[in-house]
Chains A and B, each alone.
Chain A
Amino acid sequence: MQWMTLFQKELLENWRNKKWIWVPLVIILLSIMDPLTTYYLPYIIEATGGMPSGVVIEELPEYAPSEVLLMTLSQLSMLGVLVIVLISMGTISGERKSGVSELVLVKPVSYMNYITAKWVSYLLLVWVSLFLGILVSWYYINILFGTLSFGDFVTTFFFYGIWLTFVVSLTIFYNTLFKSSGLVAFFSILSIMVMSMITKIFHHILDWSPNNITEYIIDTISTGEISKDLILTGIITTALSLTLILLSSQFLKRKEMAG
């Protein structure tokens, strides 16, 4: 099956260029950074020579497990998203620029197969990395800050995975528009920033914007009930991701493979 051939090639490529090693490690590192530094902050301050003279902190704030989880997700939303954009920014644009896509797409390859094989391979990498990252974060939160149920872990992993799916889809979409990987990264990050700004400004209208997903995950964990808003935001985000992939296939089909 042609799709499997393309998919296996993507997996092999990501294995040989070590993405399967360093991406999970980076995501794990980002995920545990806040739980660990927050918990060990007094020790860190002490070990680094204490506070400057005159500064007195009576008591460091105590954090609820859901608050620490929010810190982890915030970290992933900034640096994690950046890492995902960087690993996928050249997946199509790079092949078009180097000319490899000429050799591939001159064969009877379906454009949809070409795009979705890349998309799924990056989703697999991102979801596996996220699973490990959230799992380790959940473990430390449970040990250091208090109980977070397994259900909370699954909810966080699943719905945050949907947000990262959107990030991958957006990057793939820009890959079909530009030949320069730099431009792909720039427009992907710009789009996420603009979406975030618009969501903040029009928060009262844009209830189900993908950028709200983190907020709804934390609400769900705090209340213990999966909110309708989270489900609808998840559905909208998935639909947007699928639309971006469909559009990518159409755009690539219309593009001339040779410059």
Chain B
Amino acid sequence: MTLVTVKNLTKKYGSKIVVNNISFDFGYQKCIALIGPNGAGKTTTLRTLAGLLKPTEGTIQFESSTTNQDIRKWIGYLPQYPAFHSWMTGREFLIYSGKLAKLTKEEATKRAAELLEVVNIAKESQDERISRYSGGMKQRLGIAQAIIHKPKLLILDEPVASLDPIGRREVLGLLEKLKQEITILFSTHILNDAEEVSDELLLLHKGQIIESGSLQELRNKYQTTVMALQVEDEIHDYQTIVANLNHVRNTKIERGTLYITSDNVKKVREAILSLADQERWPITSFSIDQASLEDMFMKVVNN
């Protein structure tokens, strides 16, 4: 069943088109990563979905909502740089957020206490003013305020971009936990993060979705298996031999390693190992690697 359907969404600022006629949909309990370089239109897309920006054209349908319905009750949102009432304590801010989302005082208080534990805000910091929180704590508090009313969709804009490695790990761990219960749509330009927690990917480039699907689907579609060969001798002598083998598409040398791409890894691997055995090549290393998400992204963009 579909949770969100975006149809022909366009957002313009004056004559500048930031999001250009994009359409996509996704179902329940998924973690979807919106991937793209800086300036691709990720933040604008997320803010439009969250109702903070108005689409220039196109529609966003939430379940079977009509355009007149206030969909904000189903959405939790955390901007890239969340700003809080820093004079409040973490607990006060969560209770305030819960009450704004129409929870009763008792419900909001109970849920705030639960979430402070879930997002791992230390007991002694829970009643401290937010102005004293670190970046990671603020980000986790931001996620807590976004899910306090148990929304169906959690929208996070670059949730880990501004964090140090420890903070980044904590937030990614939290997302991993949350995606069991809630649909998460998050943007990132750090492809490793997307690879780590997302089930589906939307690749955004210059305001347009250039590819979408599950990580596995994209891997299958754009799979580029790269073989890496290192020898004790001069590597350039071997490049010519390997390049002439059947099914070898491309070869290149980088820092003493010969990288080979092929449309039939199995046959090329067998051919190289057979040659190496017959000719007694002084091989020091031979490995086969899957292309990273980054390689795939570059390939899609170049296509």
Number of interface residues of A (CB under 8 A): 21
Q: Are B52 and A257 in contact (CB under 8 A)?
A: yes
Asked whether, in the complex, the Cβ of B47 is within 8 Å of the Cβ of A258, the reply is yes
Contacts A17-B87, A99-B79, A106-B72 known; A256 to B102 CB distance under 8 Å?
A: no
Task: Assess the A258–B52 pair: CB atoms within 8 A.
Answer: yes
A112 → B minimal CB distance (Å): 13
- What does the 1/0 interface line of A102-125 toward B look like (CB < 8 Å)? 111111110000000000000000
Tell me which residues across on chain B come within 8 A of A256, comparing CB atoms: 52-54
Provide the residues of chain A in CB contact with B54, threshold 8 Å.
256
Output the least CB separation between B28 and chain A (Å). 21
Of the listed residues B52, B70, B82, B87, the one surrounded by the most CB atoms of chain A closer than 10 A to its CB is B52
Bound CA span A256–B142, Å: 21
CB–CB A103/B87 < 8 A:
no
Within 8 Å by CB of A100, from B70, B77, B85, lies B85
Interface size classification for chain B: 20 to 34
Which residue of the partner chain B has the closest CB to A105?
Answer: B52
Question: Quick check: A102 and B149 within 8 Å, CB to CB?
Answer: no
Stretch with Cβ within 8 A of B (4 or more), from A2-10, A62-70, A80-88, A233-241: A2-10
Chain A: minimal CB distance from B65 (Å): 13
A105 → chain B, closest Cβ, in Å? Answer: 7
Q: B182 → chain A, closest Cβ, in Å? A: 16
**A257 CA to B53 CA in the complex, in Å?**
7
B100 contact set on A, CB distance < 8 A = 2, 5-6, 104, 107-109
CB distance from A22 to the nearest CB of B (A): 16
Instruction: Return the CB mask of A84-102 against B: 1 if under 8 Å, else 0.
Output: 0000000000000011101
* Nearest CB in chain B: distance from A99 CB, A: 4
Candidates A13, A103, A106, A109; contact of B84 at CB < 8 Å: A103
B96 sits at the interface (CB 8 A): yes
Q: Min CB distance, B9 to chain A, in Å?
A: 15
- A99–B73 CB distance below 8 A: no
Q: A17-B87, A258-B47, A258-B53 are in contact. Are A103 and B102 (CB under 8 A)?
A: no
Q: Does B119 contact A (CB under 8 A)?
A: no
State whether B73 touches A100 (Cβ < 8 A): no
Q: Report Cα–Cα, A6/B99, bound state, in Å.
A: 9
- Cα of A2 to Cα of B75 in the assembled complex, Å: 18
Q: Which residue of B lies closest to A1 (CB)?
A: B99
State A99–B79 Cα separation when bound (angstroms).
Answer: 9
Task: Look across to chain B and name the residue whose beta carbon is closest to the beta carbon of A102.
Answer: B79
Cβ A103 vs Cβ B72 within 8 A: no
Partner of A99, one of B72, B82, B97, B99: B82
Contact residues in A for B53 (Cβ distance below 8 Å): 256-258
B282 on the A face (CB < 8 A): no
Task: Tell me the complex Cα distance, A2–B98, Å.
Answer: 10
Q: How far is the CA of A23 from the CA of B193 in the complex (A)?
A: 50
The answer to whether A108 and B72 have CB atoms under 8 Å apart is yes
A98 touches B52 (CB 8 A): no
A107: B residues at CB distance < 8 A: 72-73, 97, 100-101, 149
Q: Which of B52, B81, B99, B149 is within 8 Å of A2, CB to CB?
A: B99
Q: Which of chain A's residues have a CB closer than 8 A to the CB of B85? A: 9, 13, 100
Contact with B along A217-252 (1 / 0, CB 8 A): 000000000000000000000000000000000000
- Extra inter-chain contacts (17) besides given A17-B87, A99-B83, A257-B53, CB under 8 Å: A2-B99, A5-B100, A9-B85, A99-B79, A100-B84, A102-B79, A102-B82, A102-B83, A103-B145, A106-B51, A106-B52, A106-B77, A107-B72, A107-B73, A108-B70, A108-B102, A256-B53
7 sampled A-B residue pairs with Cβ under 8 A: A2-B100, A13-B85, A17-B87, A98-B83, A99-B81, A106-B75, A108-B100
Which residues of A line the B interface, CB within 8 A? 2, 5-6, 9, 13, 16-17, 98-100, 102-109, 256-258
